[in-house]
Amino acid sequence: AIDFNLTNLADVFDIPGLSDILRQAVLDQLSALMVLPNKIYVSLVENVPLRLLKFVPPTGVLRIKVIAGKELKKADVGMFGLGSSDPYAVVKVGSQEFRTSVVENSINPQWNYYCEAVVDQVEGQSVLVDIMDKDPSSKDDFLGRMSLNISTLLAEGKSCAWHHLQDTKTGKINLDITWVALSDDPEHLPAEMMYIKSLSSKTPLSSSLLLVFVDSAKHLPNASQAASEPSPLVELTVGANKVCTSVKPNTNDPVWEENFHFLMANPENEEVVIEVKDGKSEKSLGHCVIPTNFLLKEKGLQLDQPFFLKDSGSESQIILMLQLKIFKSQTTAAEKPKAEVSEEKDDSVQEEEKEKEVSKTNDVVAPSLEDVVLSTVSPVLDSAKVSKEVLDESLRHRGSSSKMSTEEEKDLPKIQLTLRYSMQRNKLIVVVHKVVNLPYKDEEELPDPYVKVYLIADSKETKQKTHVCQNTANPVFDET
């Protein structure tokens, strides 16, 4: 976060409303320079073309679905303590920002909003989600936030879970996030296009990523016979997306060396429209159109060459590097996200599927208690660099009296957890997946279980609890 104070004559701008506009303008300018994917390039070795440093493909793409919120804070409290909120979610990945629609008068909103964020660098980056309350008469109210480390998402491939909001007393958000790898193989395109159609028929999703490096132009004409040298810029259009390079003043041979990327639904029938304009008069200096299906036939799906400009000088050309990256999702169309499936099926169907899943779980030979403890706690010990000998010694001291047969252990209540310690964020992350075989008597009603997780450290106690699963002895939580 960046903060500053206005002094001297600039103090006149430090008033509500005006100061917010000024601060946002400063943040936007800094983001345009220093927040990923924007970078500052410095060549440390001679004879290395700077364009090789600048044209570096992204690491991958995050496909994010903001499904729903639950038990959000009531920002608009009315008479008798009743109230609600008009929530929306803001998703940030580097300098990329996405915003859901506003759900009016609800603390349990359903968004089902998709967005796709290009990830240039995994290390040190997070997915940040802010939940806000829309207030037309004043500044929007903050309802909570959460963050996920992208390196963790890359390791898992896919995450679909409820997350507790931070910096607030109540609220959760349900996110479905998939890491999408990038491929140079055009054979992956048909499968990816089928997969994204199975995900959403309403939201247009992408199957590929087009990278464009605008290098330079040569022998550009003047805007008119009477005009001096132009101040050229390049306008690139792909579908509804339009971006521009910076303006290079007073030159017929501009050098830009700027990177751009475009998400594409189907590269087989899209095209890139390139137009060079004079920044002073806004008159066109030439243009060209490049169908992206040309790239599917090229080695490495890449073109690096000059393109002659139409309606320009006889020798006018622009030098571009274009590369197509095909998406390769970690899941297949057959593995439809659980959250989306649950929205399309009624409660009776979901209950029937849960019973089938539990029966399958009970049919599987259960691991020993030692195996369960070791597999659950070992990742935490590895992250904290603690020797497993301490854990082995603890299990050894349990003695022979704790040994049970496989059949006896099979009927014991069990809880499935995932523990992960983030050194970078200094956080212990606990995912409560499910519980099986909770005890109850046949003549009694099924319980309404929930799980409480306690962390006791330095005489301080922190606790969190899951939601309540109604009327079941085999609850499934999948909460973080």
- Evaluated on CA atoms 272, 273, 275, 279, the torsion sign reads negative
Beta bridge partners of 320: 214, 305
Largest CA distance in the chain: 99
Contact (Cβ atoms closer than 8 angstroms) between residue 59 and residue 148: no
Q: Which amino acid is at 392?
A: D
Task: Give the global pTM.
Answer: 0.63
N-terminal to C-terminal alpha carbon distance within the chain: 26
pLDDT tens for the 480 residues of the chain, in order: 556 666 666 565 566 666 677 777 776 666 655 555 566 656 566 666 666 667 788 999 999 999 999 999 998 876 666 789 999 999 999 889 999 999 999 999 999 999 999 998 888 889 999 999 999 888 899 999 999 999 988 988 999 999 999 989 999 999 999 999 999 999 999 999 999 988 876 788 999 999 999 999 999 999 887 778 999 999 999 999 999 999 999 999 999 999 999 999 999 999 999 999 999 999 999 999 999 999 999 999 999 999 999 999 999 999 999 999 999 985 443 343 343 333 433 444 444 454 444 444 444 444 454 554 455 445 444 544 444 554 455 445 444 444 555 566 667 888 988 887 766 567 788 888 888 888 877 767 788 889 998 888 766 777 888 888 877 888 888 888
pLDDT computed for residue 372 by the predictor: 46
What whole-number distance in Å separates Cα of residue 237 and Cα of residue 223? 21
Domains 208-322 and 366-479 share a fold: yes
Beta bridge partners of 174: 68, 162
Q: What class is the 366-479 domain? A: mainly beta
Determine whether 406 is exposed, middle or buried from the number of CB atoms within 10 Å of its CB (0-12, 13-18, 19+): exposed
Each residue's pLDDT tens digit, 155-174 = 889 999 999 999 899 999 99
What whole-number distance in Å separates Cα of residue 313 and Cα of residue 221? 6
Determine the 3-state secondary structure of 216 from DSSP.
strand
208-322: CATH topology: Immunoglobulin-like (2.60.40)
pLDDT computed for residue 392 by the predictor: 54
Which is nearest to 230 in space by CA: 273, 282, 306? 282
Tokens describing residue 4: 């500053």
Alpha helix stretches (DSSP H) within 318-368: 338-344, 347-363
- With vertex at residue 344, the alpha carbon angle to CA 340 and CA 347, rounded to the nearest 5 degrees, is 110
Cis peptide before 58 (omega within 30 of 0): no
The domain spans of the chain are 8-34, 53-183, 208-322, 366-479
What CATH number has the domain spanning 53-183? 2.60.40.150
pLDDT computed for residue 277 by the predictor: 96
Tokens describing residue 139: 């500044």
pLDDT computed for residue 328 by the predictor: 93
